[in-house]
Each structure stands twice: as C-alpha cells, then as structure tokens.
C-alpha cells in the first residue's frame, strides 16, 4: 500500500489485536474477529472514484455497507461460534493493482 503507511500500520495493529484478544478471552466463550470489507461506499467516495474502484472488483461494483453487515451478523450468530481470531477479507475480490 504505497503512500498509505499509517493506514497499513493500523491494519496490522488490528490483526495483532484481534488474534491476541481472541487468545485472551477464548476460555470465556467469547469470540473475537475482524472484518476487512475493502472499499465500501458509505458516502465518502465521489462518482468518479466509485467508477474507478468498481472496475477493480470482480463483481464490477464497490462494496455496500450491507455487504459487511451481513458478515458481521453471521459472526455474531451461534453458527459462527467456532470462528475466532480471524481477519475475514470480505472485499468482493478487490484487485489491488
């Protein structure tokens, strides 16, 4: 992520924190995961940037808040009880080039 040193460092910190916290609280039945949704249109990107980014997604569109929300809802459900200490990339096949 050239030119994004602070952002990349914060992503690394989230990964380390997630794995460490999961190990600390797992014995209490608490799961800890992080979601990496990739570029998501939450109102911050303009039309031109949206088109430019959409071309880098395998589905041809940028992420929407609902995309990440569905994953978070799953992780909060009983069905995800065995998933912990994970960084889950849910970015629609975003191509970083």
Give per-residue pLDDT as tens, 85-95: 999 999 999 99
d(CA 97, CA 95): 6
Out of 7, 26, 66, 95, the active site residue is: 7
Both structure tokens of 92: 């629609």
Q: Where are the alpha helices (DSSP H) in the chain?
A: 5-25, 47-54, 65-75
Domain covering 5-89: architecture: 3-Layer(aba) Sandwich (3.40)
d(CA 91, CA 83): 19
23 catalytic? Reply is no
DSSP element (H, E) containing 19: helix 5-25
Give the per-residue pLDDT at 1.
66
Entry pTM: 0.86
16-55 pLDDT tens trace: 999 999 999 999 999 999 999 999 999 999 999 999 999 9
Q: pLDDT class for 96, splitting at 50, 70, 90?
A: confident
């Amino acid at each position: 992520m050239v030119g994004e040193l602070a952002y990349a460092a914060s992503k690394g910190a989230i990964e380390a924190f997630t794995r460490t916290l999961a190990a600390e609280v797992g014995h209490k039945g608490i799961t800890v995961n992080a979601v990496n949704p990739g570029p998501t249109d939450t109102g911050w990107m303009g039309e031109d940037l949206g088109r430019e980014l959409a071309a880098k997604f395998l589905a041809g569109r940028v992420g929407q808040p609902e995309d990440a929300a569905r994953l978070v809802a799953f992780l909060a459900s009983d069905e995800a009880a065995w998933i912990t200490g994970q960084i889950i990339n849910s970015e629609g096949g975003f191509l970083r080039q």
